[in-house]
Amino acid sequence: MDKIFLNGMKAETLIGVYDWEREQMQTLVLDLVIGIPEKTAVSDNIDDTIHYADVCDAVRSSLKNQQFLLLEALAEHVAELVLQDFGAQWIRVRIIKPGILPDVREVGVEIERSTDNV
């Protein structure tokens, strides 16, 4: 399977189970690996692939308008969005919530989904 990736994408959303976490938007860091049709490499046509910028815009816009308690739910939301709206075959979503715990650089979650799961 051919893949494209977006690493270190920053997005803001309201997330957390504690009241103090929900007082303002938090910046998360996302890494997305997205399965694309193999014909893209052969056709060399932008219309046969998934546009990086469109994915970034859609994810950022969606997260800005959503609220989540758990990173797991947020990751599932992102996976479903990319699979359904962009026709991806497979996706790995890794989300980092930096600086949330003392003496821990980052915490996060990683999930993998395919069109078989949706």
pLDDT in tens, 2-28: 899 999 999 999 999 988 888 899 999
For residue 118, the model assigns a pLDDT of 52
**Domain 2-114 is found in CATH 3.30.1130.10:** yes
93 membership: H or E segment, kind and range? strand 90-98
Q: Residues 75-118: pLDDT tens digits?
A: 999 999 999 999 999 999 999 999 888 899 889 999 999 988 55
pLDDT of residue 38: 78
Residue 109 Cα to chain centre, angstroms: 11
Token match 């600086």: residue?
99
More confident of the two residues 44 and 108:
108
The proportion of the chain whose per-residue pLDDT surpasses 90, expressed as a percent, equals 73
pLDDT of residue 1: 84
Residues 6+ apart with CB under 8 A from 54: 86
Active-site amino acid positions: 97
Answer yes or no: are the C-beta atoms of 94 and 31 closer than 8 Å. Answer: yes
Q: Which of 67, 66, 82 is nearest to 31 (CA)?
A: 82
